[in-house]
Structure formats: structure tokens, C-alpha cells
Amino acid sequence: MKHQQLINLYNNSFDNRQFDNFYDLLTADFHFENPMLHINGREEFIGYLRACEIFYSTQTIKLIETAESEYLHRYKLLIVSDDLKTIEKLDVTEIIKVENGLICMAILKYNLEQLSDATSVMLVKSMGDFETIKI
């Protein structure tokens, strides 16, 4: 797979909260989307991650190339609160698009009904000033 190393670096930076790495991995106009919010711009995405008080870890189930420079990443997302009281796993499907050797888009799909009410509230709080699409 042509961009597997790039995607692995993206996931490792996410898991290890090494947000400065995203300057070398994402396009300036990077688009991020999940069922609760949309973020346009690398700076905005990094700002969101820095403000987030939730720790995440990913466990890849499958990564496949679906088209040239487009990938489908299925993984388990482990969600851990800052106080280590909330730990849940979420099944996630992510569409990743690469442009000129950088990730330009990541769209996450998951079912919010898989989460407890406490984790859902924690996720909404972590979004701060970012636009909420739906809860």
C-alpha cells in the first residue's frame, strides 16, 4: 500500500498525542468529520485535539486501499477520560484521502448509540466551541 506508512504515522501521532506531527502529515486545508462535528483546516483540527480532554487509542482491524490515494480504515477506538474513569470501545470506519503525499481528509463513521450517556456527554464537552452537528 502506497501510503500505509503515512497513515500509520497519523494513527501513532493521534494515539500518542504528538499533535505537532500533524503539521508534517496533513494538508493545510485538511477536512475532518465525525458524527458530531466537522472541522476544516489543519490548524483547527490540531487546536481541537489539544483542547480535547479525552485520550484515544486505535487498534486497527483492517486498512485497505479502495481507490488511488483513498483508504478505508476499520478500527476499535478506545476512549479513556482524563480521570481514567470512563473506558469504552467504539467500532469506527474511517475514510482517509491522500493528496500530494499528505492526508487531506478523514471522515469517521460510528454509531453514537454504542456509547454510554456519560461518555457521550464527555465527548460533547470536549468539543468546546466547535460546531456540533448532532448528538
The answer to whether position 133 is within a domain reads: no
Mean pLDDT for 60-83 is 89
Number of domains in the chain: 1
Count of positions (residues) in the chain: 135
Residue 129 pLDDT exceeds 90: no
Residue 124 pLDDT exceeds 70: no
Q: Which domain holds residue 17?
A: 4-126
pTM, 2 dp: 0.84
Using left for φ > 0, alpha for ψ between -120 and 50, and beta otherwise, residue 44 falls in alpha
The predicted structure's pLDDT at residue 46: 94
Alpha carbon of 2 to those of 13, 24, 108: distances in Å?
Answer: 19, 17, 21
The answer to whether position 113 is within a domain reads: yes
pLDDT confidence band for 36 (50 / 70 / 90)? confident
CATH at residue 81: 3.10.450.50
The answer to whether position 115 is within a domain reads: yes
